[in-house]
Structure formats: C-alpha cells, structure tokens
Chains A and B, each alone.
Chain A
Amino acid sequence: EAQVTQNPRYLITVTGKKLTVTCSQNMNHEYMSWYRQDPGLGLRQIYYSMNVEVTDKGDVPEGYKVSRKEKRNFPLILESPSPNQTSLYFCASSLSQGPGTEAFFGQGTRLTVV
C-alpha cells in the first residue's frame, strides 16, 4: 500500500531535550516536505527536499533541522525543543513539484513540549 509513515504519532517532551520525528514513504517520490499545523494558521511549510541531499528552508524553519540521506526517509530534528514548537506536524511527499502533483500526507505527529 502506498503510504507516508510518520513516527511517533504522539510525543510529550521537555524543553531542550533533542528529538527526531521520522518520516518514510514507499512511493519513490522525489519531493518531501514537513509542515506544522496551528489553529487559525493552517499548515505552514518548515523544510522541503527536492531529492537526496537537497534540502531547503520553508516558511518557518527556525528551531528545526532535516536531512535526506535516502530517497524514502526525511526525518525532522528538533535539537532543543521549546514550548512554541508544540504543534501538529505532517510529513508529505509528492512525485514531483509540478502544479498538478498531489501531496500524500503522513498520519501526523502531535508534539507537546513542556
């Protein structure tokens, strides 16, 4: 089954404790991205990757890191989480970046930083 898998689904952590949210897709998609969803703001892009070893900042990259060592995986790293990073996070992948290309989303990761 074609899917994007994120882990964990839920995470409560303390300020400053490094964490990684994993994302994996099995569709051989080139384009992957991370979004955060906050009430009243919709989804905002954090980072994206156009292919292996090619990553770039989205609209809200501060406090996050990513890597793309393999085509299928695109982990999101919070080196020193802060309470303002409490949010719902989505990983998404698409075959390309054309305007008609649908994005497939992971199940979401609800992160709480206390």
Chain B
Amino acid sequence: AQKITQTQPGMFVQEKEAVTLDCTYDTSDQSYGLFWYKQPSSGEMIFLIYQGSYDEQNATEGRYSLNFQKARKSANLVISASQLGDSAMYFCAMREAGYSSASKIIFGSGTRLSIRP
C-alpha cells in the first residue's frame, strides 16, 4: 500500500541557512508523482514542487529543490537560504498512476518548519 513518511514533526533553522525536510515513500507502482506543499499559518495549501518517477533530473523551483533518490524511495525538499516567510507546515505527497482505481494524492503527516531571525 502506498505510504508517505515524514519523520521530522518540527524543525528550527537559522535564517539564511539551508534546510532539508525528509520524506520517504512506499509504492509498488513504477509510475508516480511526488509533490511538496507548504501550509502557512493562514491555512491554505501552496504547491511548491513536483518530481515524476521517470524524471532523471532533480526538480528545482527557485529556492526549492527536490533531492530524489529513487532506489532509497526518498524525496527530500531542500530550501536554500531560508527566509522568515518559510516558517510553515510542509507536506510531502504522492500520486500513483491509478490504473485499477482512482488515483488519489496521499500525504505525510507534515513537518513544521520554524525559521529563527
């Protein structure tokens, strides 16, 4: 069964430092997508970055990059030069191809990131 594991419930990081948020996943599908979402204190879900299972290069979006290690089934989010506005809850998520049934997005339990000035 598909599963997402985020082992860091909370993290504190100094402003301007880089931070890595861990995510491991479990799936028996060969085709799947991995997502990271940011949830600030206001509550909305903001899409950050996507990595496809067949993508050979790690995805990057501005200060965000996804460290994709397929053999280890890990999809860590790296935020370079953290800013105070990065303080939020971060969710790792996965979507399988869904050949036999509807494909849903499943989420990890989240990591609360706090940036210290």
B47 surroundings in chain A (CB, below 8 A): 102-104
Tell me if A58 and B107 are in contact (CB < 8 A): no
* CA gap between A98 and B31 in the complex, in Å: 9
B97 proximal to A (CB < 8 A): yes
Q: CB-nearest residue of chain B relative to A55?
A: B102
Contact A42 B109 (CB under 8 A): yes
**A90, B93: Cα distance in complex, Å:** 15
Size of chain B's interface in residues, with CB distance under 8 A?
A: 31
Tell me whether B103 and A99 are in contact (CB under 8 A). Answer: yes
Q: What does DSSP make chain A's interface, helix, strand, loop or mixed? A: strand
A97/B107 contact (C-beta < 8 A), A88-B43, A90-B45, A108-B43 known: no
Instruction: Say whether B104 faces chain A, with CB atoms less than 8 Å apart.
Output: yes
A40-B103 Cα distance, complex, nearest whole Å: 23
CB distance from A112 to the nearest CB of B (A): 14
Indicate whether B56 reaches chain A with its CB closer than 8 angstroms: no
Given contact pairs A42-B108, A42-B110, A99 touches B95 in the complex (Cβ within 8 A): yes
Cβ contact within 8 Å between B33 and A101: yes
- Known contacts A97-B98, A108-B43, A108-B44; is-contact A43 B107 (Cβ 8 Å): yes
A41: CB under 8 A from chain B? yes
A62 in the interface (beta carbon within 8 A): no
Chain B contact residues, CB within 8 Å of chain A: 4, 6, 9, 29, 31-33, 35, 37, 43-45, 47, 50, 52-53, 91, 93, 95-98, 102-110
Q: Which 7 pairs between the two chains have the least Cβ-Cβ distance?
A: A105-B45, A42-B107, A99-B33, A97-B103, A43-B107, A42-B109, A108-B43
